[in-house]
Structure formats: structure tokens, C-alpha cells
């Protein structure tokens, strides 16, 4: 896929903007970038940093690799924004979700990943931002989940979904997806499988926004399905991974 350089709009300052055939990729904080995006979207599909990997302030401030990887933590660089407590996470989530609400077409979908700790907070933020809460979907990780000594295996993550007003799509989608992460597939510490994102993107309209695109899996699913994608990523490393992946995908 050929990439062309565009003049950066003034609101990006030193931030980067890469224009591809079916994707526009922005490096920066989504709270700054979203208000300046042009046009409306049919869906937001995103996997924000959950800030859930620790029960104490000290644990939350630890590296993401030590919180979320079973061993080592050196295969992928850490990612930003994962040290909030629940009250600040709720406030922050409501802020960026409200910005997304303004950029969605009527009936547009909001699909946001979360884990069990932040599930109640995420449903609150979704509604505080103006969305009609429609439900909670489940990602069953199958064998790609770490056990819990003395308790139950952490085998699921969730996606909270809602809409901007009445639903307008005509797709009938499942609410539970059993997808195991393939060896070597991940390009991010908490990256989602492409197969999973293909299922979610298939339920969306033609123009999709991801404010936390990470390594660009949602964008790859969108491009594979002939849709338009706009992604935002604050990390220099993961932004560059996403650009290379979507340019060559």
C-alpha cells in the first residue's frame, strides 16, 4: 500500500500524520487530536489502557510489562496511560468518549474493550458521554489466558458497546467470541487477535475511528474489509509499528 506525505495541519504541531490509501494515522494524545478530525465516523472500535493492573498506587505505577506479561516483559515496549485509579479513569474515559460522540454519525457504534475490574466504570463512562448503552460482549481467550492460583482462570475480557441514538445497522453479530491468540501474532503487550477484531469491525459501518490504535490491528481489519480507518496512538514505537503494518498490510 503506497503512502503519501501530507502537510501537517497546525493543530498537530510536532505530532505526526501519515496518510495511506484507506487509513489516516495520527501520533498524539486523542484528547487533542479527536476534536480536529474532519468528517464523521460510523463506529469507534478501541482498546484503551485499562489502568487495572494493580490494587495499590504503587502497583498501578509499575511498568505495564510487569503488570500484564507472564514473564520477562521485554518482548514489547511498555505503553502509556495505564496508572490511573478508578475515579480518574472514569473521568478521563468520559472525556474522550464524549469527544468521540461528537464525531459519530447518528446510530454510530461505540465499542470499547475492558477487563473485569474496569467493566462497571466503563459502562458508566459510556453513558456519561451520551451513548445509549446496548450491552456487554465477551472475548473468550480460550487457552491464551494465564491461570489464577487458588481461584479461577482469567479467561475473558469484555467489550462494552452502545450507540449514538437508535441503531441503524443491519448486521446480526454474536456477543461472545472464542478466539485464541496465535503464537507470534502479538505486536503489542496487550494486543488483540486479528480474528477477533475482524468480527467486531464486520458489525460496523464504512468509516472507523480508533483513538488508541496500538499496533494497528483494528485498522488492519478495517482495511481488509474495504473500510476507511482513522487511528490515533500516543506512543512513538507503536505508532511506527502501526504505520508499517498498515502500509504493508
- What is the model's pLDDT at position 73? 47
Between helices 217-224 and 194-202, what is the axis angle to 10°?
60
Contact call for residues 52 and 44 (beta carbons, < 8 A): no
Does the structure show a pLDDT above 50 at 56?
no
* 223 vs 51, more confident: 223
Domains in the chain: ranges and CATH: 17-234 (3.40.50.150)
Mean pLDDT score, 60-72 = 51
Q: Which three cell numbers stand for residue 113?
A: 474493550
Half-sphere exposure of 31 (CA within 13 A, CB side): 7
β-strand 156-163 against 104-114: which pairing, if any? antiparallel
Task: Please provide the DSSP assignment of 5-21 as one string.
Answer: --PPPGGGTT--EEEES
- What is the model's pLDDT at position 2? 42
Between helices 119-128 and 86-102, what is the axis angle to 10°?
40
Strand-pairing partners, residue 228, are 207
**With bands split at pLDDT 50, 70 and 90, how would you rate the model's confidence at 64?**
very low
Nearest-angstrom CA–CA distance, 79 and 241: 13
Nearest-angstrom CA–CA distance, 109 and 166: 10
Amino acid at each position: 500500500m503506497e503512502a503519501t506525505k501530507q502537510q501537517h495541519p497546525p493543530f498537530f504541531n510536532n505530532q505526526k500524520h501519515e496518510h495511506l490509501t484507506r487509513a489516516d494515522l495520527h501520533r498524539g494524545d486523542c484528547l487533542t487530536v479527536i476534536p480536529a478530525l474532519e468528517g464523521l465516523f460510523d463506529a469507534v472500535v478501541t482498546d484503551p489502557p485499562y489502568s487495572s493492573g494493580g490494587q495499590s498506587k504503587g502497583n498501578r505505577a509499575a511498568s505495564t510489562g510487569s503488570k500484564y506479561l507472564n514473564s520477562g516483559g521485554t518482548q514489547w515496549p511498555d505503553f502509556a496511560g495505564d496508572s490511573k485509579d478508578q475515579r480518574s479513569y472514569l473521568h478521563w474515559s468520559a472525556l474522550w468518549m464524549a469527544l468521540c460522540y461528537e464525531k459519530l454519525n447518528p446510530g454510530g457504534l461505540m465499542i470499547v474493550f475492558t477487563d473485569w475490574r474496569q467493566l462497571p466504570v466503563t459502562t458508566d463512562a459510556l453513558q456519561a458521554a451520551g451513548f445509549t448503552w446496548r450491552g456487554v460482549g465477551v472475548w473468550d481467550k480460550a487457552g491464551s489466558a494465564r491461570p489464577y492460583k487458588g481461584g479461577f482462570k482469567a479467561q475473558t475480557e469484555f467489550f462494552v458497546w452502545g450507540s449514538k441514538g437508535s441503531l441503524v445497522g443491519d448486521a446480526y453479530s454474536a456477543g461472545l467470541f472464542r478466539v485464541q491468540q496465535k503464537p507470534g501474532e502479538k505486536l503489542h503487550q496487550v494486543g488483540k487477535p486479528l480474528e477477533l477484531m475482524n468480527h467486531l469491525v464486520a458489525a460496523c459501518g464504512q468509516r472507523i475511528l480508533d483513538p488508541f490504535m496500538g499496533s494497528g490491528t483494528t485498522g488492519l481489519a478495517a482495511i481488509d474489509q474495504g473500510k476507511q480507518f482513522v487511528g490515533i496512538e500516543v506512543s512513538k514505537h507503536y505508532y511506527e509499528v502501526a504505520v508499517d503494518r498498515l502500509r504493508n498490510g
